[in-house]
Amino acid sequence: MRRAHTVEQVRAAEAELMAKLPAGTLMDRAATGLAVAISNFLGCTYGARVVLLAGSGDNGGDALYAGAKLARRGAQVTAVLLSEKYHQEGLEALLAAGGRVASDNGEGEPGFERVIVGADVVVDGIVGIGGRPGLRGRASALARATEEHGVPIVAVDMPSGVDVDTGETPAEYVKAALTVTFGTHKICHLIDPAAEACGPVHLVDIGLDLPPAAVESLQTADVRNLYPTPTGESDKYSRGVLGLMAGSAQYPGAAVIATSGALAGPIGMLRYVGPDAVAAAVRAEHPEVVAGEGRVQAWAIGSGLGDELDQGKVKELLDAEEPVLLDADGLKALDDAGDHVGVLITPHAGELARLLGVERSVVEAERLEHARRAAERFDVTVLLKGSTTVIAAPDGRVRVNTNAGAWLATAGAGDVLAGLCGALLAAGLNPFDAASVGAYLHAAAANLASNGGPITAMQVAAHVAEATRQVLLEE
């Protein structure tokens, strides 16, 4: 499990550990890990030109101490001090190791910019995890110059300017080629748009004793442990029966695609409930599907229903005991009255914006905030689709899925996901786990299908079984 903690949690853990260690030990651990990561990023330290953008906080100190370690290995290290309150001991260590401090020579920002031109890497130690979002003054100018000259940036803890606890980017921020963080991941490492600005994230263990995480991200072993595999005593009913209401005369393909996603999951049987013509199309592709209502363990409702949505029927199912997944047009039946603990909704940003009465751009900019808000307001588990999938439970728990590739953004992919998550509900997973496992396998299947190129939704569905097999058999 990849776990991300809040700034408050990290600071408390750091304070507790520092009280037990000699002064400077924690910063030395962080600086050593940072220097090793920068060296590995460069490939060769000797003769490399390294520029440190050092602010007033501990991240600036980490950068200066790491610069000293790189200078002792033969790197040409230059520090640009962005505050008069720089880390004095860190600067002394850098100068003693042969590093130097840049001077503008009376030329202002252009003088500092020349230090960046031709550098092999710029180290972003501008602000720490407690800094306000956005870049200001000289830091802003130098960050822009670094990007303009194509010099890669290694960020200390997080790209300066992002909001650490939300993943939001409300103002100018650094775009890193690598982020080196300490003790634990922070929320900004997992949630877009900030996660995209981090690049790959390298975690350095500095010995923190941390509380339960604010945000989690499942890894392969977690998915394997949660997946509902059958036993020797299982039959098609005990494995789970899913009821699917999807597709319409206008969108018959949605039913076929959602069915394909569901049948790639762990269920023993699928019942399709819908127009006869659509049922015929479903059974032509999947003859094992049973058409018509009957006993089910869960429902998946909404993909491609269009104007044929029967809101009264859906509201009736929402009040029943079986868990329900609502996707696409099915979301129109959701209201904020009643007990919806067994309900999973799978909106994209536009659909969630309509539910909450806000603009789509607001949801896209504040994905964590609005997923949590919807989960609390409607008493449901929310799977907010996007470049990083945010899954929020009504009790406040949050997971993020980060293994999706860009090619997964294709028509019908959401129908596959709805069918797959519905199957996991029918097989016995709770909505939070069903959403988490479904999102992971959906993305893994897309990566297999894509192999770096374009894909269709049906290709994604066709690779879910192989992605699941790889997860279950990986040691």
* CATH number, domain with residue 459: 3.40.1190.20
Number of C-beta neighbours around residue 15 at 10 A:
10
CA distance 33 to 55: 19
Domain extent for 62? 2-217
Residues 165 and 279 in one domain: no
| DSSP category for residue 363 | H
The last residue of one of the domains, among 191, 217, 243, is 217
Q: In this structure, what token pair is assigned to residue 123?
A: 């180290």
Question: Tens of pLDDT along 9-50?
Answer: 999 999 999 999 999 999 999 999 999 999 999 999 999 999
Tell me what percent of the residues of the chain surpass a pLDDT of 70.
98
Among 149, 183, 217, identify where a domain stops. 217
What pLDDT does 232 receive?
A: 87
**What integer best gives the mean pLDDT of the chain?**
95
Confidence of residue 109 (pLDDT cuts 50, 70, 90): low
The predicted structure's pLDDT at residue 104: 60
Average pLDDT on 248-268 reads 97
> Averaged over 263-268, what is the pLDDT?
98
Q: Are residues 175 and 315 in the same domain?
A: no
Contact 419, 258 (CB under 8 A): yes
Q: Are 161 and 146 in contact (CB under 8 A)?
A: no
Q: Do 96 and 151 belong together in one domain?
A: yes
Q: Are residues 167 and 267 in the same domain?
A: no
Which alpha helices (H) appear in 76-171, and where do they start and end? 88-96, 109-116, 137-148
> Both 128 and 177 in a single domain?
yes
Q: 155 in helix, strand or coil?
A: strand
**138 with 232, same domain?**
no
Instruction: Write the DSSP assignment of 1-44 as a string of letters.
Output: -EEEE-HHHHHHHHHHHHTTS-TTHHHHHHHHHHHHHHHHHHS-
**Do residues 64 and 125 share a domain?**
yes
Number of domain units in the chain: 2
Q: Where are the beta strands (DSSP E) in 174-217?
A: 178-182, 185-186, 201-204, 215-217
| pLDDT at site 114 | 85
Residues 129 and 259 in one domain: no
Higher-confidence position of 455 and 475: 455
Would you say 93 and 61 are in contact if contact means Cβ atoms under 8 Å apart? no
**Strand, helix or coil for residue 385:** coil
- Specify the CATH number for the domain of residue 77: 3.40.50.10260
Per-residue confidence (pLDDT) for residue 42, from 0 to 100: 97
Do both 225 and 197 map to the same domain? no
Give which of 443, 457, 460, 432 is closest to 402, Cα–Cα.
443
CA distance 217 to 185: 10
Encoded tokens for 308: 């044929």
- Same domain, yes or no: 58 and 11: yes
Residue 356 neighbours by CB under 8 Å, 6+ apart: 363, 370, 373, 374, 377
pLDDT of residue 110: 53
Q: At what angle do helices 25-42 and 7-18 cross, to 10 degrees?
A: 120
Final residue in a domain of this structure, among 217, 235, 252 = 217
For residue 146, is pLDDT > 70? yes
Sorted by sequence, the CB contacts under 8 Å of residue 248 that are 6+ apart come out as 254, 274, 275, 278, 304, 305, 306, 307, 308
User: Is residue 187 a contact partner of residue 223, using CB atoms and an 8 Å limit?
Assistant: no
Structure confidence by residue, pLDDT tens digits, 355-414: 999 999 999 999 999 999 999 999 999 999 998 999 999 999 999 999 999 999 999 999
Whether residues 118 and 194 fall in one domain = yes
Q: Do residues 131 and 41 share a domain?
A: yes
Strand partners, 311: none
pLDDT confidence of 112, banded at 50, 70, 90? Answer: confident
* pLDDT tens for each residue of 402-448: 999 999 999 999 999 999 999 999 999 999 999 999 999 999 999 99
Q: How confident is the model at residue 106 (pLDDT cuts 50, 70, 90)?
A: very low
Secondary structure letter of residue 329 according to DSSP: G
User: What is d(CA 218, CA 432) in angstroms, rounded to the nearest whole number?
Assistant: 12
The fraction of the chain above a pLDDT of 90, given in percent, is 90
